[in-house]
Amino acid sequence: MILAIETSCDDTCAAILDGDNLLANIVSSQTRFHARYGGVVPEVASRRHLELINLVVAEALTVAGVELGQIRRLAVTTRPGLIGALLVGVATAKAIAFACGAGLVGVSHLEGHIAANYLQPEPASPPFLCLIASGGHTSMIYVAAERDFRLIGRTLDDAAGEALDKGARLLGLDYPGGAALDALASSGDPAFASFPIGLDRAGNFDFSFSGVKTALYYYLRDAGAEMVQRRRADIAASYQKAVISALVKKVIAAARSLNCSQICLAGGVSANTVLRRRLGQECTSRGISLRIPPPELCTDNAAMIASAARFLPDAPHPEWLSMGARATGGLLV
């Protein structure tokens, strides 16, 4: 049985995985915690993680109905992220592993996102092309086997989720507004305005989302407040279309070039309704199977860290006592 901890981003997360059975998957932004402890401190701050970590771990054990003594392995995100935030998770995992005589394994957040696809209800198996799109990352990885990754493309500047969040902010929505932008766009006309699709003709699988954000800034500045107010949903839909089109076009082109018949999604942008619909249509018409984990496994969570840990060896004892955290690093490093 694996207890996994993830504190690399905004949420404090703990999960318990027993074989293929996910017994608990607790995230601090879930209503239960947020209503009680939600505050003004930036979520990424280490003191925020410190306040929540024991509560979140205790909740995971309660929901799973297991005792600490039953945990045989601890899995924890060690990279990438803010060192202070990561260390809250690493220190907690070490302490529990030490107390329980359990094994400990350090996991990369990005490997975790990919490994969300190995969880129920529809576990995928390699080979597949994985699009990781979130607020902090946008890359395409060819997963030949559970531990065999090939980077196919990546963003050269902003992440896709960042482009959606910042576009939302420019349109007057609260940050992070990716989900609010999606909702606003649902009643808008995506053909109303034209925004550039980054690296559309570059002939490679890299992404760029900085230009579309700047284009929106100038569009809003030149259009005038009255028009922007009246056509906000149309502008939101048009902007979102440009961001999502880049993802859809490149992932389909990459799958074709790799002759790959399975695409998996990972990261918070997987919840975007336009991405799901348009990529779904493209995949269906080309006979590609598309797998999208449920939303709670796409956004940051610890279940994905537990899932990735299944394919990794325990850190050697007692060297793991000096296991640290790293600000950088992604797959296999």
Partner 1 sequence: MLSIVSSSVAVTAAMAASLARLLKPGDVVFVSGQLGAGKTVFIRAAAHELGVGELVTSPSFTIAQTYAGRATIHHLDLYRLDGFDADDAVDLEPFFDKDAITFIEWPEQAKLFLEEPAVVVKLEHVDEHSRRISFLRPREDLKKSLEELVAGTRH
- Residue 231: DSSP 8-state: T
Helix (H) or strand (E) holding 249: helix 232-258
Residue 82 binds partner 1 (CB under 8 A): yes
Residue 41 binds partner 1 (CB under 8 A): yes
| Span 2-21, contacts to partner 1 by CB under 8 A | 9
Report the C-alpha gap between 85 and 277 in whole angstroms.
Answer: 35
174 residue type, one letter: D
> 284 with 278: CB under 8 angstroms?
no
Residue 50 binds partner 1 (CB under 8 A): no
Q: Residue 48 or 278: which CB sits closer to partner 1?
A: 48
Residue 158 binds partner 1 (CB under 8 A): yes
Residue 293 binds partner 1 (CB under 8 A): no
- Measured in whole angstroms, the distance separating CA 271 from the mean position of its chain's CA atoms is 10
Stretch that binds partner 1, among 35-43, 93-101, 228-236, 241-249 (CB under 8 A): 35-43
What six digits make up the tokens of 3? 């207890």
> Which of 18, 146, 157, 296 is close enough to bind partner 1 by CB under 8 A?
157
> 143 with 114: CB under 8 angstroms?
yes
CB of 24 to partner 1, least distance (A): 26
Site of tokens 């006592």 = 321
30 residue type, one letter: Q
- Which residues touch 18 (CB under 8 Å, ≥6 apart)? 1, 2, 64
Q: Give the number of residues written for the chain.
A: 333
> Which of 15, 85, 102, 197 is close enough to bind partner 1 by CB under 8 A?
85
Q: Residue 244 or 269: which CB sits closer to partner 1?
A: 269
CB of 164 to partner 1, least distance (A): 12
Angle at 244 between CA 148 and CA 167, to 5 degrees: 115
Report the C-alpha gap between 173 and 169 in whole angstroms.
Answer: 5
Report the C-alpha gap between 236 and 135 in whole angstroms.
Answer: 18
Report the C-alpha gap between 186 and 115 in whole angstroms.
Answer: 30
CB of 328 to partner 1, least distance (A): 6
CB of 100 to partner 1, least distance (A): 29
Residue 121 binds partner 1 (CB under 8 A): no
Residue 155 binds partner 1 (CB under 8 A): yes
Q: Residue 17 or 242: which CB sits closer to partner 1?
A: 242
Instruction: Fill in the per-residue mask, 160 to 199: x = in contact with partner 1 (CB under 8 A), - = not in contact.
Output: -xx---x--xx----xx-----------------------
Report the interface residues with partner 1, using CB under 8 A.
Answer: 9, 40-42, 44-47, 80-85, 134-137, 154-159, 161-162, 166, 169-170, 175-176, 210, 213-218, 221, 327-328
